[in-house]
Amino acid sequence: MGRYIAHKHRKIRHPKSEDSATDAERSDVIERELAQRREAERLEAERARAAKELRTFKRLMERRSSVVDRTSGRERTAVRLAGTAIVSATTGLRTHGVAIQRTPNSTASELWAADIQFENEDEFFYCFNDPKIPTERDVIHLMRYAAPRLAEEIFVGSSTPGADDKNKATVLRLAESYIEKSYERGSFGDAERRALAADVIKDFEDAVVLRLRHFDAELMRLVALLMRHTRLSRRRCEQILAGVYAGFEPSRFEKEKPRLFEAPRFSKAS
């Protein structure tokens, strides 16, 4: 038999390249160039995607514009009613039902005929300057009469010209009634009373705006339903406004109505 001869394994050592530092620098340059190229491609892709989304959005708005033109009166009516329902709910009135109807021979931009009923509206009756009616009642109705216009301005962008002339007159009378009950007779001259009434109206209109913005989700759900249906039942209104009502449930069985806000204090105009 032959003899096995063990061979010695020797590690092969490659000679170091004299220009290894140069190669490392070249690799770094290449990596930076690749990173810059990838970043440029990413930015270009984002610009292309943004341009595509913009074109899609423009086409969508063009399609919607024709629909809005046909239903703008209905949409404005829906927003006005939804604003009234939201603000009424925050003052203790529960919406019993809502109905809208397009009036014959009306244009697309004209408001629709509307009817909104409240479950306990009789409990909130009021008379101007009646000392037996608390000032809180004047404020509740001031806010409710201001709600349609403010909702339209916030969620549509403008109010319907002439639609709130009577409401504005009622708001002014309610503000004057509030002043009549809150201050002594003869405390102000005519100019001071007008300035004070403007302050009262502005303060409570600001409160309406805050409430509408706070419950914007409920408002938009009401609007969406009114754009599909001309009548909303009490059950449907309860489903949408349940979150608004929830804050007032503990006081529903008390003899005294809940104090929903603190009336602001106004100083005598200088």
Q: For every one of its 270 residues, what pLDDT tens digit does the chain have, with 9 covering 90 and above? A: 556 555 555 655 655 555 566 767 777 788 888 888 888 888 888 878 877 877 877 777 666 554 444 448 999 999 999 999 999 999 888 999 999 999 998 888 899 999 999 987 777 777 777 777 888 888 899 999 999 999 999 999 888 999 999 999 999 999 988 888 887 666 677 788 888 889 999 999 999 999 999 999 999 999 999 999 999 999 999 999 998 988 665 444 343 443 444 444 444 433
Question: Residue 87: which residues within 8 A CB-CB, separation 6 or more?
Answer: 143, 144, 147, 208, 211, 212
Query: Each residue of 134-192: pLDDT tens digit?
Result: 888 888 999 999 999 999 999 998 889 999 999 999 999 999 888 888 876 666 777 88
pLDDT at 129: 73
pLDDT at 13: 60
- d(C-alpha 228, C-alpha 78), whole Å: 10
**AA identity, residue 172:** L
Nearest in space to 196 (alpha carbons), one of 209, 206, 182, 210: 182
The alpha helices in the chain, defined as continuous H runs, are 20-90, 135-155, 165-182, 190-214, 216-226, 234-246
In angstroms, what CA-CA distances link 67 with 109, 156, 228, 254?
12, 15, 13, 48
- d(C-alpha 182, C-alpha 185), whole Å: 9
What are the residue boundaries of the structural domains of the chain, listed by start? 71-251
pLDDT at 133: 80
Q: Which CATH superfamily is domain 71-251 in?
A: Peptidase M41 (1.20.58.760)
Residue 138 contacts residue 126 (beta carbons within 8 Å): yes
